[in-house]
């Protein structure tokens, strides 16, 4: 990962931790793809996609989570869950960073399964 991506994920992790989530995994990889952050929000397991864009050209950070990306995230999350003794309640969030200094937007439940 490039330094800019690492910095974005670190900033996103700090942001969600400051709102009470606990990071349990970073950069989980399997043959289907990668989960940027996996966190606990109480009893809920949260898969967090981190996106950073310098501006809003081409729809900005939110628009970059297209159907193909959502499908990869779902498959990767299923792979992650297969390694657990029991599957908890889950949700998919996105932390979007845009501009400089970055503005942070936290979107909950960006993927409905």
- pLDDT tens across 28-45, in order? 999 999 999 999 999 999
Residue 3 has pLDDT above 80, yes or no: no
Contacts of 47 (CB under 8 A, 6+ apart): 35, 37, 38, 73, 77, 80, 90, 91, 92, 93
Whether the Cβ atoms of residue 48 and residue 37 lie closer than 8 Å to each other: yes
Query: Poorest-confidence range of 6-10, 41-45, 59-63, 86-90?
Result: 59-63
Query: What integer pLDDT is reported at residue 32 of this predicted model?
Result: 95
CATH topology of domain 3-107: Trna Endonuclease; Chain: A, domain 1 (3.40.1350)
Query: What integer pLDDT is reported at residue 1 of this predicted model?
Result: 62
**Rounded mean pLDDT of the chain?**
88
The span from the CA of 81 to the CA of 83, in Å, is: 5
């Amino acid at each position: 990962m490039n330094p800019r991506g690492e910095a974005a994920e670190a900033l996103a992790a700090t942001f969600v931790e400051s709102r009470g989530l606990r990071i349990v995994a970073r950069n989980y990889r399997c043959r289907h793809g990668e989960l940027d952050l996996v966190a606990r929000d109480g009893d809920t397991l949260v898969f967090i996609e981190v996106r950073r864009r310098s501006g809003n050209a081409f729809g900005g950070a939110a628009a970059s989570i297209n159907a193909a990306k959502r499908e990869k995230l779902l498959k990767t999350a299923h792979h992650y869950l297969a390694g657990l003794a029991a599957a908890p309640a889950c949700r998919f969030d996105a932390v979007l960073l845009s501009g400089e200094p970055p503005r942070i937007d936290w979107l909950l439940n960006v993927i409905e399964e």
